[in-house]
Structure 1
Amino acid sequence: MSLRPKRIDFDATAGAFLKLVEQLYAESSRALSETEPETTSQTQPKTQTHIQIQTLPTTSAFMDPFQQVYDLCTAYPRPFDARLFDAVAAFLVATAVRAKKRILSQNDIVPTYSREWAAFRTASTYLDIICEYLNKITAKQRPPAHSTPTSSVSTSIGAARRFGAVSKSANSLSTPGTRVFERQKIASLAFLIWKECVLVSIKTNSGNKLMNQIFDYVAQDRNGTPAVESSVVVNAVESFAHTFLLFAVEVNEFAPQQLQYYIQEFEISYLENAKLVYLLMSRIPNGIFPLLETIQSHIISLGKGVVNRLRPGAQKDPREFIQAIIDLHFKYNEICIKYFSNDAAFNASLDKAFRSIVNESYESAAQNFPELLSRFCDGMLKKSTKSISTDAELEEKINRVIILFNYLNEKDVFQKFYSRMLAKRLIYGLSASDDLEMNLIAGLKRVCGFEYTQKLQRMFTDITLSEEYNRLFHASIQRNNVNLGVDFSIFVLTAGSWPLTGSGLEFHLPDELEKSVSKYTEFYMGKHSGRKLSWMYHLSKADVRLTYLDKKYELNMSLHQLGILLLFNKAEKLSVNYIATQVKVSTDDVKRVLKGLLDMEILLVGTGAALVGSSEILLNFKFSNSKRTKLKVNAVAQSESATQESESARTAVDEDRKLFLQATIVRILKSRRTIGHNQLVQEVIDQAKARFLPSVPVIKKGIEQLIEKGYMERSKERKDQYVYVA
């Protein structure tokens, strides 16, 4: 075989090559027609037809077509690879058209179709091997994967040239009536031509006669009276699957710059007949596996597109981002039900795809899915004047949130943020509906069990008990004719169940409130001896009426602000240092508390722009608000930003995980007494995965800490075993 480029007469060389190819296809068809049908198993039908070529060529004749392809592709001075590709395409079109005519000439077209397809497939496989050098040149001439179309027009033209004829107005290289094929591997070209010249043409010209007969055969086979060999039906179905999968391969391998276009076209056109394709491919052993992988990758791609598009703004408002993920899941869940008979394999692929989407890590912890999902729930369950959703719509949304929650690996992170937001809703009366709150908690309980929601349910119990205590307390006050001077209500919250911490801001209770607090403490201790009440003044709110102005105003403010404002009942002007002394708060803290009152101009700074210890604070007798009479005074400025608050919550989660793992290890050892290292690690992972997925190094660190504390020790006989220490 000569590898030196030389001058070539294209017509003569290509003509000789195509004659050999024609003999190959003719011999393939003849050998198949002479082959006796093989006996097939009822449980495992044959999907391949074996063709034996009886006339074997000599070594020289065998090498001729390979040499001819090489000579044409390396011809001097100009290679003929493009003309050779066009000539092969024209030959394949003619061959496929002749096969179609032979198929349509029969009344019972399924056996004929199966035989023609087997012959065409086998011969085309050999032709692809012969044209290997042409395929290599074609691959090199492909545009690079990172290249992008210059305009939407070029994208549509590229798609049309690959999968349909291009008119002269769209591409000057084509002529009227000429079918243009994009350069590709010969095997891909052959199966594409079969699809368009045979499959599509038969469907158009015969009223889908082929598909109808195949379904008739499938029905007869299920009834136990097959009218044709099972291998014939499977062979025909395989041709559909082959051409379908070929389309996916072409898109993924050769057209990355047009991938979005193909995805859209795939969804629009494919879903119309997806159920038929699924039923056909499910007849082939492992036939739906490629389809499962394609759908899973497609969903992940769409989900990451949503993440990249909406994640930057999700930290401020996660509603649009989470709703987009919910809608995406709902869409493909409906597709699985409607088009794929709710097949468990498709549902599993859907679950894998969404686990990948919701558990992706981001640079900012505040952008991770568990926190965003908890904030979405907070906005959904909080009172809002803008909300127009009905209870039924909110219940449906809660059900979809639980589905996404089930995919989370870090369920404990969600719990930490959700419990903090729930606490604020309950304390400040911001919940839209207690029933909706309990529905969400019930959904969390179904997924993670009673222990996960125990504290959340205890929070609701505390609110209910507090309302009962307030009723009994006021009844007791009235019975004893005690005048508190204020309308007073208390929430008594269980310390271990609420995610609340002290503010670190000391505070002297105003005289006006001292009597109420002492009376309630006396009442509560009379019912529960041995308990201790720790007052959390930084979470308290007060409603105050201003009676010194022409118009009566009602202000909502923090208890610290109330303590300062009540001092002005005795004086119209006070210094910052005096206020700090009276409320027993540092000067810097007084400045922070005063800021909300000064911003609303309820109080005024007497002299100087800067607020210092010697500054005098005046009561503003000219205060007015023309719009409202009920006003809310901004609370003390938060020392932590949203990012710092998120990081502090993450730190708390890490500490909780350490304690949880240590408790789990001790519980396992206590029941086993002796256990191997690998078995212990695996059991810890199994018990913790309902809340989070612990890493092996973290588990090992927990084991070492428990050994140091004396809860367990290494076995003296085997170092990889642990013994529980009672």
Structure 2
Amino acid sequence: MDDPFYSLWNGLRENIEHFMDHVDQGINYQKYMKLYTDVYNYCTGATQSFFDSKRDTTQLIGGKMYNELKSFLERRLEGVYDNSKQHSDENLLKYYSDQWKDYTVAMRTINHIFEYLNRNWIKREVSEGRTYIYDVYNLSLIIWKEKVFFNMKDLLIKCLLRLIEKQRHGEQIPEDLVKNVIDSYTLLGEEKLDDNNSRNVDIPKGVSSFKIYEVYFEKLFIKATEEFYLYESQKFINENSIVDYMKKAKARLEEENQRVDKYLNESSRIPLLKACKDVLIKNHLEPIQDEFTELLQQDRVEDLELLYYLLKYIPNSFDPLCTKFEEYVKQQGLASIEKVAQNPVSKSGSSTPVSSRKEAREKESVNPQAYAEAILAVRKKYIKLIQNSFSNDSKFVASMDKACTEFINKNKICNQKVKSPELLARYCDALLKKSNKIAESSEIEERLKDIITIFQYIEDKDVFQKFYTKMLAKRLVVGTSASEDLEESMISKLKEICGSEYTLKLQKMFQDINVSKTLNDDYNNFKRENDISSAQDFYIMVLSTNCWPLHPPTSPFTVPPELEKQINSFQVFYQKNHNGRKLTWLFHLCKGELKTRFYDKSYIFQVTIYQMAILLSYNKADSYTLSELEDQTGLNKEVILGQLNILCKAKVFLLKSSSSGEKTYVYNPNFKFKKIRVPLNATVRSEQQAENEETRKAIENDRSFLIQAAIVRIMKTRKTLKHVALMDEVISQLKNRFKPRVSDIKKNIDYLLDKEYIERKEGEKDTYNYLA
């Protein structure tokens, strides 16, 4: 041809063709620069007119070169496709992969050679809206799609799927080859093809070339995956146990996950794993869920972890398991507590200060420590299971909490009188006393934390509060508290859960104790200043009536002359400093020590003040009848008998009957005891029982006031409210302190109706109005 362009183009084509045939040899710098310069010189020449199928107008130079390059690539790739017909299966993939690799490597270099064409003529055409014009590299990809990919796609996918299936059956496959082919799908989708493109492209209208990978590989691959696992899973589950099937399913899921890492596009991970989970897990959900209870019963932690791992991918699959788990934990808790009920006394090593089975039964039918430890053992076991097997899943935690709430508040031990809150308070009392037999305060602190764990499940927190307050008061008054720091730590824990109002009285009790220390120092100074001498050591506590759950004595009492002077002097001192305040002496709570001088060995009797009064009477005589002792001490018969029984049991007195049949209490000169200190100040059992009954009665009275206050508060805010809504709001407001019974709420509604705080709305019996 005479046209200088064709002379230029033929030289370019020959060099490009040689380079593409020998990509592995590369192209030297001189040749590269010559080709680049030829394109540059052509593109920077004068304007020319040339015919284009779309238009006929004056253009920047470049159109001829673009069309010739396009035609050249089309002819070359048609040859590539024709040669592919000689290959099949894995060889076909290798041929495609090799040709693709060489082609893309070559086209990256060729794209640089034609860079000036890209930056001028092609850029101008694209900017004018000619969407069928592409830069050289993208043009090369489009022609590959047209001439090679779309002609080979059906064979390629079959070969790929066949290789992947072989791998699933355990055979080795060339993963790099598979990756290279699949990567071509991704790269071919990087350029977006316009829906109105006139090229003969075998791609559905509306599907951009970005979806080449998705449409021509991913969808077909996932469909084949589903078919493969549908058959395999059904066959495997029919021939093996559920646990073995779960192991197989997990292994397959991990394989597919690794397959994405090795040679699939990352975009396939979610749809592929979803398809696998649906087939492997969702289709067999029921038998897997049915296995849950058996695995629980056998404590198969690892298998439960596997079950959780599989089911976490299926929405709502845990709901029936949580229900089963809740019921199972509840039954385990009830069974554990029932064992405690059958064997109420703790074994040796218990921190509860109980010396024998007989004494334990006298004190209470259930050992509080054993009860608390039975609850904790169940909770710790299943909270550990949740952590290890269920990834601390909140649904299982909630189910366990519901189960614990159920068996802690409603079990065989919790009869009408003794309930979990009271037993828990007794366990606290045992731990916080000096007699707890635990040397390390850190261990006590850990046990108190365990108690708080149980406490959070208790519905009737007001019962715990009442008994705990009562027992704290005794520890502080009698001086049996092991540690002030531990006491304050426990109060702090309660405050954190229930708020400051719950612990207000407890904190005030400690304030009174500290004030009493200062008061005793001031009293001792008063005695020195007023030259008041005394043979006795005297310590007194002044306690606020409204904060301490202490009641006046039930019996009159005549103070022994030996103590009367001390009491009177303190009364003078206190009234001088606090005029107008009234002191109520709680003699039934007072304790002291008496030193004996009439035995072979000197003893120190640790006694109540009532016992002290009785014993001091024997300084005057060796024996007294019951009526004489009543006259001496001023105590009523019931109280003095309780104290005398303790003294007789310890053989301090010998009980005899006079000629008239009246009981006589005789001093025992042969009294013996191993230790110097003789503990006689035990609480009389009948007094303890009466005290417990009184506390339970006080709880019921307090609840009535709280329910009434809640009803009035709600009605004052709402003015008018239906019965059901009022009941719900009362329960909601009081649930943090106790769970009010419906019957109690109704009873207090009736009381407030009678007192005219509220009234029934006229014409609507189930609606109430607030009366201001």
- With the length of structure 2 as denominator, give the TM-score of the two structures: 0.63
Which one of the candidate residues 139, 156, 169 is aligned to 1:104? 169
Inter-CA distance 223–520: structure 2 relative to 1 (3 Å threshold)? farther
Which secondary structure state, in structure 2, belongs to the residue aligned with residue 713 of structure 1?
Answer: strand
Is 1:661 the equivalent of 2:707? yes
Measure the CA separation in 2 of the matches of 1:212 and 1:342: 22
1:523 aligns to 2:523 (yes or no)? no
CA distance in 2, matches of 1:118, 1:428: 76
Q: 1:233 to 1:631 in 2, by over 3 A?
A: same
Residue 342 in 1 paired to residue 392 in 2? Answer: yes
Secondary structure in 1 matching 2:435: coil
SS at match of 1:519: helix
Aligned to 1:310: 340
Shift of 1:508: 0.9
Q: For 1:126-137, what aligned pairs fall within 5 Å after superposition? A: none
Post-superposition CA distance 1:305-326 (Å, at most 9, x none): 2022122344331212311211
1:199-223 CA distance string (max 9 Å, x none): 48969xxxx8524314436889996
What's the CA shift for 1:378?
Answer: 1.7
**8 Å Cα contact 1:541-1:557 kept in structure 2:** yes
Bigger radius of gyration among the two: 2
Name the SS of the counterpart of 1:365 in structure 2. Answer: coil
Match of 1:229 among 251, 272, 297: 272
Q: Per-residue CA shift, 1:576-628, capped at 9, x if unaligned?
A: 43332232234564444333333334344566499726x4x4444x3442521
Q: Offset of 1:192 from its aligned partner?
A: 4.4
- Distance in 2 (CA, whole Å) between partners of 1:298 and 1:218 is 40
* Alignment map for 1:429-468 (pairs within 5 Å): 429-468=479-518
Q: 1:286 & 1:653 partners in 2: Cα distance?
A: 43
Pair 459,107 (structure 1): closer, same or farther in 2 beyond 3 Å = farther
Distance in 1 (CA, whole Å) between partners of 2:589 and 2:450 is: 33
Change (3 A) 1:607 1:264: closer
SS at match of 2:434: coil
SS of residue in 2 equivalent to 1:486 = coil
Counterpart position of 1:638? 685
**Structure 1 position 247 matched with structure 2 position 298:** no
Whether 1:297 aligns to 2:295 is: no
Question: Are residues 1:489 and 2:532 paired?
Answer: no
Aligned counterpart, 2:255: 213
Contact 1:707 1:713 in 2 (8 A): yes
Partner AA of 1:629 in structure 2: I
User: Which residue type is aligned with residue 104 of structure 1?
Assistant: H
Distance 1:118 1:496, change over 3 A: same
Deviation at 1:681, TM superposition (A): 2.4
Instruction: Tell whether the 8 Å contact from 2:588 to 2:608 is kept in structure 1 after alignment.
Output: yes
Structure 1 residues 192, 460: CA separation in 2 closer, same or farther (over 3 Å shift)?
farther
Inter-CA distance 395–578: structure 2 relative to 1 (3 Å threshold): closer
Number of residue pairs aligned between Structure 1 and Structure 2: 538
Cα gap change, 1:318/1:214 in structure 2, threshold over 3 Å: closer, same or farther? Answer: farther
1:337–1:209 distance in 2 versus 1, CA, 3 Å: closer
2:564 to 502, 506, 514: 514
Q: Distance in 2 between matches of 1:507 and 1:307?
A: 45
Amino acid at match of 1:307: I
Partner of residue 423, structure 2: 372
- Matched to 2:707, the amino acid is L
Corresponding residue to 2:675 among 612, 623, 628: 628
Shift in alpha-carbon separation, 1:696–1:598, aligned structure 2, 3 A:
closer
Conserved in 2, the CA contact under 8 Å of 1:543 and 1:555? Answer: yes
Would the aligned equivalents of 1:195 and 1:243 in 2 still touch at CA under 8 Å?
no
**Rounded Cα–Cα distance in structure 2 between residues aligned with 1:193 and 1:121:** 10
Contact in 2 for aligned 1:441/1:456 (Cα 8 Å): yes
**Contact 1:217-1:233 within 8 A present in 2 as well:** no
Alignment equivalent of 1:685, drawn from 707, 726, 731: 731
Greater relative contact order (Cα < 8 A, sep 6+): 1
Whether the 8 Å CA contact 1:355–1:408 is kept in 2: the answer is yes
1:700 aligns with one of 724, 746, 750: 746
| Aligned equivalent of 1:9 | none
Residues 652 and 667 in structure 2, CA contact (< 8 A), matched pair in contact too: yes
Q: Describe the superposition over 1:453-472 as per-residue Cα deviations: whole angstroms up to 9, x where unpaired.
A: 22222222222222221121
CA distance in 1, matches of 2:168, 2:520: 88
Shift of 1:431: 1.6
Gaps of 5+ in 2: 1-164, 174-220, 345-364
Shift of 1:673: 4.5
Counterparts of 2:759 and 2:230, CA distance in 1: 69
Alpha-carbon distance in structure 2 between the residues aligned to 1:387 and 1:412: 28
Q: Is the 8 A contact 2:340 2:366 kept in 1?
A: no
Instruction: Say if 1:662 and 1:702, in contact at 8 Å, map to a contact too.
Output: yes
Corresponding residue SS for 1:272 = helix
Moved more, 575-584 or 296-305: 575-584
Distance 2:291 2:436 in 1: 51
Match in the other structure for 2:461: 411
- After TM superposition, the structure 1 stretch with the greater mean CA deviation from structure 2, 651-660 or 336-345, is 336-345
**2: CA distance, partners of 1:415 / 1:219:** 60
The percentage of counterpart residues that share the same residue type is 32
Q: Give 2:738's aligned amino acid.
A: F
1:110 offset after TM fit, Å?
9.2
3-state SS, counterpart of residue 595 of structure 2:
strand
TM-score normalized by the length of structure 1: 0.67
Structure 1 counterpart of 2:26: none
Alignment of 1:705-716 (within 5 A): 705-716=751-762
After TM superposition, give the deviation of residue 333 of structure 1 in Å. 1.8
Unaligned runs of 5+ in 1: 1-99, 125-189, 252-261
Which piece of structure 1 moves more, 221-230 or 336-345? 221-230
Q: Aligned with 1:542: secondary structure?
A: strand
> Which AA in structure 2 matches 1:118?
L
Partner in structure 1 of residue 434 of structure 2: 383
Aligned partners of 2:224 and 2:584: how far apart in 1? 88
Look up the match of 2:450: 400
Asked whether the equivalents of residues 110 and 236 of structure 1 are also in contact (C-alpha less than 8 Å), the reply is no
Q: Tell me if 1:238 matches 2:268.
A: no
In structure 2, how many angstroms separate the alpha carbons of the residues matched to 1:438 and 1:497? 16
Query: Is the 8 Å Cα contact of residues 591 and 611 (structure 1) preserved in structure 2?
Result: no
1:383 and 1:111 map into 2 onto residues whose CA distance is: 73
Residues 361 and 368 in structure 1, CA contact (< 8 A), matched pair in contact too:
no
Secondary structure, in 3 states, of the residue corresponding to 2:685?
coil
Letter of the aligned partner of 1:524 in structure 2? Y
2:230 equivalent among 107, 115, 118: 118
Contact 2:243 2:303 in 1 (8 A): no
Contact preservation (8 Å) 1:110, 1:214? no
**1:284 aligned counterpart, secondary structure:** coil
Post-superposition offset of 1:631: 0.6
- Match of residue 592, structure 2, among 520, 542, 561: 542
CA displacement, residues 391-444 of structure 1 (integer Å, 9 cap, x when unaligned): 223222222221211111111122222222222222222222222222222222
Query: Does the Cα contact within 8 Å between 2:225 and 2:276 map onto a contact in 1?
Result: no
Taking the TM superposition and a 5 Å limit, the aligned residue runs for 1:65-104 are: 104=169
Counterpart secondary structure, 2:427: helix
Shift in alpha-carbon separation, 1:513–1:223, aligned structure 2, 3 A:
farther
CA pair 361-609 structure 1, distance change in 2 beyond 3 A: farther
Is contact 1:593-1:635 (8 Å) kept?
no
> CA separation in 1, counterparts of 2:306 and 2:319?
16
Match of 2:404 in 1: 354
Q: Distance in 2 between matches of 1:198 and 1:488?
A: 77
